[in-house]
């Protein structure tokens, strides 16, 4: 994938400073399953975004913690899509076979900028002040939406960017379903189509069950509404009403909400049309905004 421009990378789980985290992170496993922290290699990458800082080995007494850190750092040399998926499984981010299969099938290297480390658990700049989300965020959102991505279902990916998640959605809902990506940057939509054409989801693009459109995603995409699954890949100041309206009863919307402090919200529409909202985890995404605001750098 060709790209231009340089911006700070976003779309990863927000992590508190390592000192606060280290005991929780290294002392037991179970929180990883429910609310996984980002993986160690993304901890490294996140330093460039000022959310985390590298540990100072001198501040640890004894060497076992530091040795364990070194082992985790070594794990950052993931260089295969399958290895990336296994890594996410090992840390409990991917919990289902279906999500593992789809992430193995859609090679992330086809969606990241040329020359970048495709399988590193980090968000990456894709130009136009946008980023491809980190693999652990893609996996988290696929897990949250899995039940609403069954064959034949309708899925909407707002802020589709590179098209990676739209391709995953399309493979999950299959040729009888619909996976729609919407992004307001025409160049990104063109690029996402080219990316998908090289991927395992290409036949679905050809048969029309997968489509990518230029538009303001805050309005949703009425053509294939109502949706069983809606994903938003950029942080909204509040949940856009059209997205709630376009959710099917029984449907689920996953959307980051907030400005500086953001939470990944899970919105479920019940069969009676009532809606429940819960927070899954703290995150950091680029804003869901106007095209003009995005192009001038927010």
- Residues known to be catalytic: 133
The CA–CA distances, whole Å, from 75 to 18, 153, 274 equal 18, 36, 44
Cα–Cα distance for residue pair 172/177, rounded to 1 Å: 9
Closest to ligand SAH by CB, 22 vs 117, is: 117
Binders in 191-220 for ligand SAH, by CB under 6 A: 216-218
Cα–Cα distance for residue pair 142/165, rounded to 1 Å: 8
Phi-psi region of 15 (alpha: psi -120 to 50; beta: other; left: phi over 0): beta
Give the binding range for ligand SAH (CB under 6 A) out of 67-75, 204-212, 263-271, 282-290: 282-290
Give the binding range for ligand SAH (CB under 6 A) out of 29-37, 87-95, 157-165, 167-175: 157-165
DSSP classification of residue 290: -
The minimum distance between CB 132 and ligand SAH, in angstroms, equals: 4
Closest to ligand SAH by CB, 122 vs 133, is: 133
Interaction mask 218-247, ligand SAH, x per CB under 6 A: x--------------xx-------------
Closest to ligand SAH by CB, 131 vs 148, is: 131
Q: How many CA atoms lie within 13 A of 142 on its CB side?
A: 33
| Burial 269-286, CB ≥16 within 10 A → b, else e | beeeeeeeeeebbbbbbb
The minimum distance between CB 43 and ligand SAH, in angstroms, equals: 20
**Which residue in the set 185, 210, 264, 266 belongs to the binding site for ligand SAH (CB under 6 A)?**
185
The minimum distance between CB 55 and ligand SAH, in angstroms, equals: 29
Q: Is 93 exposed, middle or buried (0-12, 13-18, 19+ CB in 10 A)?
A: buried
Q: Does 125 bind ligand SAH (CB under 6 A)?
A: no
Cα–Cα distance for residue pair 130/9, rounded to 1 Å: 8
Closest to ligand SAH by CB, 25 vs 221, is: 221
Q: Does 164 bind ligand SAH (CB under 6 A)?
A: yes
Whether the Cβ atoms of residue 140 and residue 16 lie closer than 8 Å to each other: no
Closest to ligand SAH by CB, 39 vs 160, is: 160
Give the binding range for ligand SAH (CB under 6 A) out of 59-67, 129-137, 202-210, 220-228: 129-137
Alpha-helical regions (H) of 112-228:
135-145, 164-173, 186-197, 202-207
Compute how many residues bind ligand SAH; rule: CB under 6 A. Answer: 26
Q: Which two tokens stand for residue 5?
A: 């421009």
The CA–CA distances, whole Å, from 72 to 69, 76, 77, 278 equal 5, 7, 10, 32
**Which residue in the set 3, 45, 93, 132 belongs to the binding site for ligand SAH (CB under 6 A)?**
132
Q: Does 289 bind ligand SAH (CB under 6 A)?
A: yes
**Which residue in the set 14, 136, 184, 265 belongs to the binding site for ligand SAH (CB under 6 A)?**
184
Closest to ligand SAH by CB, 18 vs 191, is: 191
For residue 142, the tally of other CB atoms under 10 A from its CB is 25
Alpha-helical regions (H) of 28-80:
30-34, 40-46, 64-74
- Interface residues with ligand SAH (CB under 6 A)? 11, 130-133, 158-162, 164-165, 182-185, 188, 216-218, 233-234, 286, 288-289, 294
């Amino acid at each position: 994938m060709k790209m231009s421009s340089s911006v700070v990378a976003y779309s990863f789980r927000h992590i508190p400073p390592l000192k606060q985290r280290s005991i929780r992170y290294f002392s037991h496993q179970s929180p990883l399953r429910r609310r996984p922290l980002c993986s160690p290699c993304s901890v490294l990458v996140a330093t460039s975004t000022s959310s985390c800082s590298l540990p100072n080995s001198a501040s640890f007494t004894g060497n076992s913690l530091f040795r364990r850190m070194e082992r985790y750092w070594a794990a950052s040399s993931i260089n295969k899509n399958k290895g990336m998926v296994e890594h996410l499984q090992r840390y409990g981010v991917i919990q289902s076979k279906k999500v593992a299969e789809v992430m193995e099938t859609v090679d992330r290297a086809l969606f990241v900028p040329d020359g970048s480390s495709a399988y590193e658990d980090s968000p990456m700049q894709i130009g136009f002040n946008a980023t491809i989300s980190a693999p652990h965020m893609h996996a988290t959102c696929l897990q949250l939406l899995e039940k609403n991505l069954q064959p034949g279902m309708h899925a909407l990916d707002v802020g589709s960017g590179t098209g990676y998640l739209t391709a995953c959605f399309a493979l999950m809902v299959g040729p009888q379903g619909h996976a729609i990506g919407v992004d307001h940057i025409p160049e990104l939509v063109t690029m996402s189509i080219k990316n998908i054409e090289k991927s395992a989801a290409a036949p679905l693009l050809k048969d029309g069950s997968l489509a990518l459109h230029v538009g303001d995603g805050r309005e949703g995409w009425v053509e294939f509404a109502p949706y069983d699954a809606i994903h938003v890949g950029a942080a909204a100041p509040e949940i856009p009403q059209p997205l709630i309206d376009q959710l099917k009863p029984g449907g689920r919307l996953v959307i980051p909400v907030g400005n500086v402090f953001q939470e990944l919200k899970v919105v479920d529409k019940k069969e009676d049309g009532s809606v429940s909202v819960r927070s899954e985890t703290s995150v950091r995404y680029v804003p869901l905004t106007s095209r003009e605001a995005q192009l001038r750098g927010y």
